[in-house]
Structure 1
Amino acid sequence: MRCERVPSRSLSYDQRSALLDRLYSVYSETMYGHTREQFEEHLFSAGELTFALYYGTFGELAGFAFNGVQCVTHGKSRMAAFSGGGFFRPGYNGCGVVAMFFGLRQALRFKLRQPGTALGYLARTSSPVAYCLFTRTMPRVYPCRTCATPAEVDNLVRSIGEGRHYVRTNADSWVVRSDAIPRDASRMSKLDDHPDVRFYSRINPRFCEGDALLVWIPLNAANIFGGLYRQVRLRVFRWSQ
């Protein structure tokens, strides 16, 4: 699958508008929850982005990933929080791993430029499939079914979520209104017995009705390189099948 990296700052107004039309078309095939205008506003809420556009065998746009970074203050500390995600048309299997690899490369670039700045990734996961992708590819993810979330992580996520104007939908501060509601949840039924799926569904049972579970991934050197190692293993396994 061919990948094209596109920084949003390199686009003219007309080019950006045309690109967003194409991306919204991909998003709309599997998700709903945003109009075209809301989709653009959501993507750029954290500032400029870098897009990864993925093309299929015949040059068609198969999907895309995006990544941005914002500086936040938590207590007396300054840190950087990544935002991002990805959407792919139905039928392109295993693309989530490809999108995660793009995100990890972006994180590594940031750490090489600013090694002294703490970095993390906060995402709204709209389905257990997205959550399982994170737990499968990253050594440390919060919340986690095997360990408690530290109080400092809980406070940090709450603070960043409020800064991004995420809307809580119940008493759990990790469950917020989604921006991407799955059109067809039946495709996920084969994963129902997976322990991470059960964990996700227990915390966020209304993901088909517009709730999302926040996920926090610390992007220190150990987690970045551990994630890259897992990515390589997953790719080698797929190629060997």
Structure 2
Amino acid sequence: MKLAVVIPVYNHERAIGEVVEKLRELDQPVILVDDGSDPLCAAVLDELAARPGITLTRHAQNQGKGAAVMTGMRLAGELGYTHILQIDSDGQHEIADLPHILALAQAHPDAVIAAYPVYDESVPRSRLYGRYATHVLVWLDTLSLRIKDSMCGLRVYPLAPTLKLIGRAYIGRRMDFDTEILVRLDWAGVPVVNAPVRVSYPIDGVSHYRMLRDNLRMSAMHTRLFVGMVPRVPRLMWRVLNGRASMRRV
């Protein structure tokens, strides 16, 4: 397994340096994707890119988190990496938990290692409880509980099936990306391994979630997934029944 860390960055100049510094302590190569940041953040990214082991690529204009992650995935594939670890640039995820997640990726190279958040007391209650609507819809879309949390921005992707998927299917380019790509990878038969990661809010206090716009975008994404789930019901039910049979044999 040859892995690189992909970080989509949009105006997180106060947090990104510490995130990169901690990742480099783990001796992981880093691909920064500047998603049309303002000059101040762009200058910070230029300084970081001068360090060994860090690659920087840019969008001329902001295209959204999902678009930035997919740009990083494609670049990682071109550079010969087999896996990428996606992590947010705002410093919410506990870097000290990454060795466990990377060990899981080594043990399950064909799987997506999907982190689920373990929050401290800093999490806003609205953010905590608001996630459950998406959880329930994802469990419906997959007819399973295979995906514990589809919204966490920390996970390891095997690039071969993921690049194949984004080459043939529409995936949301913004805040809808994390949920949609994980559901579609599950539909494609890619195993999902769930792993905890500690999450705190925030280092720099910058959130790019726009309540009306992004909630409408999430609603459209859930509609796409439900429509896509309906013709897959027989196959999804077969996975459920076959899984139960396997458990009985064990």
- Bigger share in strand: 1
- TM-score norm. by structure 1 comes to 0.33
- TM-score norm. by structure 2 comes to 0.33
